[in-house]
Amino acid sequence: MSGKKQDSDYYVAERLIRKARQYRDAGSTACLERNRGLNQDGYTRISFGSDKRKRFAHRVIYERLVGSIPPGHCVLHSCDNRRCVNPLHLFTGTHQNNMDDMNSKGRGNYASGEQIPNSKLTAQQVSEIRRLTNDGYKQQELADQFGVNQTTISNLLRKRTWREVP
Ligand SMILES: [Zn+2]
């Protein structure tokens, strides 16, 4: 392919990075979805760099806007939305760590969770609430369903609380 193709790849990548930076700087809680270049697992990929190799967009964004990815670590989505490249929704961890956290750790293992007096929620419920929000549930509905008040829901969705939980 000619240099033209490479140039357009470059602009696509730079445009995405610019948009993701706006989300980061604005503290936007919304997902920034990219629906192009999806692989079979639903992750979005983008050609980036001179070798034209397709890379996972969320990894590119993380490296450019958040920090370096430790060797052997994955870039994970706090929002569980694989198409999302909002830098504020990305964090690094090993895949196994993530699974262990989700499956076996109770709320006591999360520092931010512990700091909440009389917390009624578990880490798994927090993850579930964040997922349900993406499905369109309203805060008050979730509050009723999980037996907490709406402020609790609002705080955990804004990551004022339970920051470590995906
Ligand atoms: Zn997201």
The sign of the CA dihedral 75, 77, 80, 86 is negative
Return the pLDDT at 101: 55
CA of 117 to the centre of ligand 1 (A): 28
Residue 85: HSE in the Cβ half-sphere, 13 Å Cα cutoff: 31
CA of 148 to the centre of ligand 1 (A): 24
Q: What is the mean pLDDT of residues 129-136?
A: 82
Task: Report pTM.
Answer: 0.56
- For the cut 70, the answer to whether the pLDDT of residue 6 exceeds it is no
78 alpha carbon – ligand 1 mean position (Å): 7
Question: Mean per-residue pLDDT for 139-148?
Answer: 82
Cα 4 to averaged position of ligand 1 atoms, centre (Å): 32
Phi and psi of 35, rounded to 5°? -105, 10
Q: Which of 17-21, 96-100, 137-141 has the highest mean pLDDT?
A: 17-21
Determine contact, residues 142/129, Cβ cutoff 8 Å: yes
Better pLDDT: 101 or 54: 54
Tokens of 36: 């192009």
Question: With 50 as the cut, is the pLDDT of residue 39 above it?
Answer: yes
pLDDT for the residue numbered 105: 41
Average pLDDT of the residues of the chain:
81
Could you tell me which of 41, 32, 12 has the C-alpha nearest to residue 84? 32
User: What domains does the chain contain, in order, with CATH numbers?
Assistant: 3-93 (3.90.75), 104-157 (1.10.10)
Is residue 142 helix, strand or coil?
Answer: helix
Give the pLDDT mean for 50-65: 87
